[in-house]
Amino acid sequence: MNTAPGPRGWPLLGSLPDLARDLPGFWIDLASRHGTVAAFRSGVETCHLVSDPALVGDFFQHDTQSYYKGKHTQRLASVLGEGLALLNGPPWQQRRQLLQPAFDRRPVSRWLDIVTAAFESQVPVWDEAAARGRPVEMVNDMLRLTQAIIVRILFGRSVQHQVTTSILGAVDTLNRNMLRHLLREMVLGGWLNRWPLPSTRRFHAALATLHATIDGLIAGQGEGNQDEDALITFLSNARDEQTGARLASAQIRDELINFFLAGQETTAVALAWIIHHLTTQPDWVDRIAAEADSVLSGRAPLIGDLSRLTITHRVINEALRLTPPVYGIGRRTLIDVELGGWRIPAESVVIASPYVLHRHPAYWEAPTRFDPDRFSPSHRLSPRPRYTYFPFGGGPRRCPGRHLAMMELLTIIAQLARRYRFHGVPGPRLVPQSGITLRPHPGVLVRLSPR
């Protein structure tokens, strides 16, 4: 069996210069030139981009058997420890089984009041900016909002202000330095990260603060007044189904950090992109606002309202299609694999990209046009293949936080559109920047005006 076709690239570097310039753009070009499985080199690494929905399905179906999260993802281990996002094999499976029930559709509804309260506390800031005609920057504002939400979901509604400040300060430092830390892990065997450079010292100090603060909260569990709904309570009480063993304190801490980091930036970036798209779509903003008025009649959403926000849902789906916060899902092959008739050798990288499939001209008419009606019931009559749309991934590792994320997106976008109109602010052209998530760069500047 042959290996897949692809560009030759540069000696030693392979396609690294093209990847570094515009990663999602490189992938789209690769798929259009080299077909459904395309091979390219990133330095010494051989990678394969899969851009056929049935083959993406095959990839997800065999995930955790033929594929695993390999050394690139493990470079995040100093932050994520032995948490769900990095574990492999039976330890991953046991942990996933243990955690999943807390994130199923019905259980997440217990956190709706946390989402609406966090939104309400942000409103005075936006009202003031609107009154003064001052633009707001939505990536940062939404990050503050999703962090306020996730802190309470993980640590409880009455988490002390001082604790929140300490956790958010540490996470902010980690967020700022994460990409640099990751890149340094890739060169010189990570030696630079063990050298006491000021940025490395800041990174490790932030991690130590985060660990100490969360360890303190875990130790304080069982002293009464804990929030029964908080994930920390769930994890502290959880027992392994087979062995009956409780999680160790360090495992609980790692898991809380995993959920914190997985749940904040993805959701904030999704919200910022949705608002960016809406600045060019006043008709859709009016339709969302009219829907929110009729479904909510002026009050905060209740859980039963969310399924009736169908137009808002459509707009969110379309924004997640055009600008999926998680734009590539990568694994390493455990064994030699056959995909679409090509041989993928063991230990090479395989990538399925929501960004590429969501914009594939064979499956989406006018793929770059913002058109939420693609997700209307009439379109469901002629369904697209399953893996043409997968903003939350697929297979056994599909995002466990997707119901929570949709609850946040629906609640926040419906309430925002009910209160404000959005106006774009002239400035540098906004481009998708591919870091850990696909962020709108240099930011989403919006002028709000009261409705």
Footprint of ligand HEM on this chain (CB under 6 A)? 84-85, 96, 258-259, 262-263, 266-267, 270, 325-326, 329, 391-393, 397, 399-401, 404-405
Name the residue number minimizing CB distance to ligand HEM.
401
| Cross-strand pairs, 41 | 46
Shortest reach from residue 21's CB to ligand HEM, in Å: 24
Cβ distance to ligand HEM smaller for residue 26 or 60: 60
Q: Which is nearer to ligand HEM, 169 or 396 (CB)?
A: 396
Q: What are phi and psi of 303, to 5 degrees?
A: -60, -35
Complex with ligand HEM: residue 113 or 293, whichever CB lies closer:
113
> What span, in angstroms and rounded, lies between the C-alpha atoms of 194 and 184?
10
Supply the minimum distance, in Å, between the C-beta of residue 258 and ligand HEM: 5
Q: How far is the CB of 266 from ligand HEM (least distance, A)?
A: 4
Nearest approach, Cβ of 245 to ligand HEM (angstroms)? Answer: 20
Whole-angstrom Cα distance, residue 240 to residue 85?
A: 19
- Report the C-alpha dihedral over residues 223, 227, 230, 234, rounded to 10 degrees: 50
Q: Is the dihedral of CA 122, 126, 131, 134 positive or negative?
A: positive
Least distance to ligand HEM from the beta carbon of 40, Å? 19
Nearer of residues 53 and 391 to ligand HEM, judged by Cβ: 391
Nearest residue (CB) to ligand HEM, 214 versus 326: 326
Q: Annotate 273-297 with b (16+ C-beta within 10 A) or e (fewer).
A: bbbbbbbebeebbebbbebbeebbe
Q: Which is nearer to ligand HEM, 69 or 418 (CB)?
A: 69
Q: How far apart are CB 91 and ligand HEM at their closest, in Å?
A: 11
Pairing of strands 45-50, 349-352: parallel
